[in-house]
Amino acid sequence: MKTKRDYQHTRLDQNFLSKDSSFRFRCTECGECCRNVPREDKIILSPVDLYRAARYMDISIQEVLGTYCDMIPGGESMLPLVILKERLDGSCSFLKKGKCTIHEAKPLACAMFPLGRIAFLNDVTGEHEFHYYLEEFQCAAEKDTPVRVQEWLDRFDIETYDECIRLYKRLGGVCSRLMHEAKTLEERQEMFQTAFFLMYAKYDKDQPLQPQIEQNLAFIQSMYPDGSFPRKN
Ligand code: SF4
Ligand code: SF4
């Protein structure tokens, strides 16, 4: 039987772009996508986004989380998700005078737009592989300028962080499994807090990021070596 992921894969597969291919796009910098983020298109952040923003603003990752982010519970994954905080008027809290105040270090999802990216787990290598596609969008952008996918990714060094994102996804995978494994409310609360801490908060912007994610992954694996909660008899 086909899983939801198979269908998603099949649907997107037809539209995946190779890095040598081109699309047509020119942002007119109207700022509308930062002023009026549709509710269903929340920008979900990873520790890479938090790290880049913290270094750019020279504040701690915990301060970025507290000032510029919100946390929502994930659906199927049961994980905490960190999203960009919106002001009451619906604008992103990084937007000032119509400009993104962290433009050079903006979240990867913002930097990649109108490209979207999806990661599939390769069952053979056990690694996540990234696939790029063109988001369906309607905005004030012009479609008069050809852009190569690779050049678009290079503008913000997107691929520099690929290994960090792969590790973060593995960390999320372990935390999600444990969330599903938790039986009691107490276990769920404990795991939710642990997941938030390891996935987003336990990072120092002044240290290299990749070893910190590796450390957090190793920690959760050592806490629950069987991938499950120890049961009390
Ligand atoms: S982070 Fe910057 S680019 Fe992204 S929505 Fe906010 S203001 Fe816009
Ligand atoms: S043209 Fe589109 S992508 Fe560019 S700022 Fe406006 S809404 Fe955002």
Q: Where are the beta strands (DSSP E) in the chain?
A: 16-17, 22-26, 44-45, 69-73, 80-84, 95-96, 99-100, 115-121, 128-134, 142-148
Any ligand 1 atom below 6 A from CB of 84? yes
In three-state secondary structure terms, 88 is coil
Any ligand 1 atom below 6 A from CB of 106? yes
Any ligand 1 atom below 6 A from CB of 92? yes
Is a pLDDT exceeding 50 seen at residue 16?
yes
Is a pLDDT exceeding 60 seen at residue 103?
yes
Is a pLDDT exceeding 90 seen at residue 8?
no
Q: What's the pLDDT at 98?
A: 87
Q: Which of 85, 95, 112 best tests ligand 1's pocket when mutated (most atoms within 8 Å of CB)?
A: 95
Residue 145 token pair: 């300028």
Q: How confident is the model at residue 85 (pLDDT cuts 50, 70, 90)?
A: very high
pLDDT-above-90 percentage for the chain: 69
Q: Which atom, in ligand 2's list, is nearest to the CA of 32?
A: 7
How far apart CA 190 and CA 219 sit, in angstroms, is 15
Any ligand 2 atom below 6 A from CB of 13? no
Any ligand 2 atom below 6 A from CB of 33? yes
**Range scoring the smallest mean pLDDT among 75-79, 133-137, 165-169, 177-181:** 133-137
Any ligand 1 atom below 6 A from CB of 95? yes
Q: Which atom, in ligand 2's list, is nearest to the CA of 29?
A: 5
pTM of the model: 0.89
Average pLDDT across the chain, whole number? 89
